[in-house]
Structure 1
């Protein structure tokens, strides 16, 4: 059994409280309640990929060209480092090194803002000419952020 409440107003909060009150209490098999921030939005995800594509098309990093997925790993590792989050690695099962990276699908909305801003910052530093799709996504996000700022 799972139930999810998005706390957007007092009415929803009250519904969640009422739901919790009716749950059974069992010392041997207790229920677990998780309260967490929302993860990234679909809009943030759609914005990220054209930016990563622009990096993959235009940037050579230490003589190598990387695809969008690789750039996502590089960017999220940088964001994690700047936020002083733990970065881990292990020897690969068949040689090489495996970096344990961040999953953007599990990031909160503010964490994704950091990722997108970092892509834009890094791309600008590298002289990336962002595509029309990326520019449209950036402009839309700025308008959305301005209209939803509180």
Structure 2
């Protein structure tokens, strides 16, 4: 994996491609979010979980991840095997940094509308988002 940040790195990537055997695959894509960003996302979701009543009940951080991601990326439904409707959420694990930034912005706006008091970890996310 090459993070294309300098001409030297780009040349090394080209060299690796030229030396690769037939049948190998090269994929160029935006950098995805990292583990540190993931930790901070969960801090934000935990803050929302502990402070927001949503339609008369509290939800776990995992549930908020689905609710808020659906607000950003949409969702689909499918019939379940027992006749129930199943919501098919969108994955956050493959988000690139731009998509992650959009999710952070959405969560902060949602929290601000509901007077969420952000923890230090969650505020770190916001500072990184603003300074990016």
With the shorter chain as reference, the TM-score category is 0.7 to 0.9
Root-mean-square deviation (Å)? 1.9
Matched, 1:16 2:9: no
* Equivalence for 1:37: 30
**Structure-2 change in CA distance of 1:131 and 1:24 (3 Å):** closer
* Equivalence for 1:89: 77
The answer to whether the Cα contact below 8 Å between 1:50 and 1:133 also exists between their aligned partners in 2 is yes
* Equivalence for 1:55: 48
TM-score (structure 2 length as normaliser):
0.87
Q: In terms of mean alpha carbon deviation, does 94-103 or 106-115 score higher?
A: 94-103
Q: Distance in 2 between matches of 1:55 and 1:34?
A: 36
* Equivalence for 1:84: none
Q: In terms of mean alpha carbon deviation, does 89-98 or 62-71 score higher?
A: 89-98
Q: CA deviation at 1:68?
A: 0.2
**Structure-2 change in CA distance of 1:14 and 1:107 (3 Å):** same
Among 105, 115, 127, the alignment partner of 1:117 is 105
> Could you list the per-position Cα deviations for residues 121-140 of structure 1 after superposition, in whole angstroms to 9, with x for gaps in the alignment?
0011112122344234434x
The answer to whether the Cα contact below 8 Å between 2:52 and 2:114 also exists between their aligned partners in 1 is yes
Give the secondary-structure state (helix, strand or coil) at the position aligned to 1:62.
coil
* Equivalence for 1:76: 69
Flag structure 2 segments of 5+ consecutive residues without an equivalent.
none
The answer to whether the Cα contact below 8 Å between 1:53 and 1:68 also exists between their aligned partners in 2 is yes
Q: Distance in 2 between matches of 1:12 and 1:80?
A: 33
TM-score (structure 1 length as normaliser):
0.78
Flag structure 1 segments of 5+ consecutive residues without an equivalent.
82-86
User: Bigger radius of gyration, 1 or 2?
Assistant: 1
